[in-house]
Amino acid sequence: GIQVEQSPPDLILQEGANSTLRCNFSDSVNNLQWFHQNPWGQLINLFYIPSGTKQNGRLSATTVATERYSLLYISSSQTTDSGVYFCAVDGSGTYKYIFGTGTRLKVLA
């Protein structure tokens, strides 16, 4: 099955810093989403982005499907950005998402 790798596994930032999270996948995908899991376990959908670039406030994402990777950019980080960021991909077109191992982000005040 499709493999999803995320990097870095852990990231510590000072408030106000920028960061880039990466998601590599081993095969072509039909669908891709980025999620933020808060400390209470809630998974929040950030982007649905099988290809191209999207922006939402301080967050933006780019997926280069032909090269099998996606990037999530966080600018001017805030303490509320802390948590785990997951990339999830669907390679079959049947909406069965496979999750990466996540990037654990901690933003310090």
Query: Site residues (CB under 8 A) for other proteins?
Result: 30-31, 33, 35, 40-45, 48, 50, 86, 88, 90, 94-102
For 34-44, letters b (16+ CB in 10 Å) and e give bbbeeeeeeee
The closest of 29, 23, 24 to 92, measured between CA atoms, is: 29
d(CA 98, CA 50): 14
Taking the least distance from each CB to other proteins, the nearer of 17 and 98 is: 98
Q: CB of residue 46 vs other proteins: minimum separation in angstroms?
A: 11
- Name the minimum Å distance from CB 36 to other proteins: 11
Residue 90 Cβ vs other proteins, minimum distance, rounded to whole Å? 8
